């Protein structure tokens, strides 16, 4: 497989890359917390005493966190390899981030103020980065490898 000479990752593309790396780090920490919870005997017995619906939701949440971690990890690798599919997948990743923030706003037992703060940043990032990834010539010149 040969890689074409592309522009280096720089300029405004450093922002989306930094966002990806921060999300990868934070989801890694969340998965670490899930893992330590599963290794603690008290949590395992608590999960056994919870209603089936709550236990199922806990494992669905764990599976979603694992899926987000994997997708973010794959996207970071593709970003560094300057794959042609990165702009499309980055837009999908941003939309998933917005959907997860809306879900947290609607269903999480947190204050509305905190949920709005968590919703604001993904909405702002999507509003700024989606047009940039769709129209920028730098993006088109950077992500050219198959």
Tell me which residue range forms the domain holding 51.
11-142
| Per-residue pLDDT tens digits for 106-142 | 777 777 788 788 889 889 999 999 999 999 988 999 8
3-state secondary structure of 145: strand
Is 64 within the bounds of a domain? yes
d(CA 139, CA 8): 10
Is 15 within the bounds of a domain? yes
Q: Measuring CA to CA, how many Å separate 125 from each of 118, 119, 128? A: 12, 10, 5
Is 5 within the bounds of a domain? no
Total domains in the fold of the chain: 1
pLDDT tier, 6 (very low <50, low <70, confident <90, very high otherwise): low
**Stretch 48-75: mean pLDDT, rounded?**
90
- Produce one character per residue of 112-123: b if its CB has 16 or more CB atoms within 10 Å, e if not: eeebeebbeebe
Is 55 within the bounds of a domain? yes
Is 1 within the bounds of a domain? no
Would you give the DSSP letter of residue 10?
-
Is 67 within the bounds of a domain? yes
**Lowest pLDDT segment from 35-49, 73-87, 98-112:** 98-112
Is 2 within the bounds of a domain? no
Is 124 within the bounds of a domain? yes
**pLDDT greater than 60 at residue 79:** yes
């Amino acid at each position: 497989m040969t890689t074409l000479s592309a522009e280096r990752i720089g300029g405004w593309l450093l922002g989306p890359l930094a966002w990806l790396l921060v999300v990868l780090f934070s989801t890694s920490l969340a998965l670490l917390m899930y893992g330590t919870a599963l290794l603690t005997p008290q949590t395992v017995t608590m999960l056994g005493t919870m209603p089936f619906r709550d236990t199922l939701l806990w494992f669905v949440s764990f599976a979603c966190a694992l899926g987000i971690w994997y997708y973010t990890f794959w996207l970071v690798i593709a970003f560094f390899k300057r794959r042609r599919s990165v702009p499309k997948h980055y837009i999908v990743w941003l939309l998933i981030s917005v959907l997860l923030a809306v879900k947290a706003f609607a269903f999480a037992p947190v204050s509305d103020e905190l949920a709005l703060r968590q919703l604001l940043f993904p909405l702002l990032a999507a509003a700024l980065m989606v047009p940039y990834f769709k129209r920028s010539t730098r993006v088109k010149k950077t992500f050219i490898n198959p």
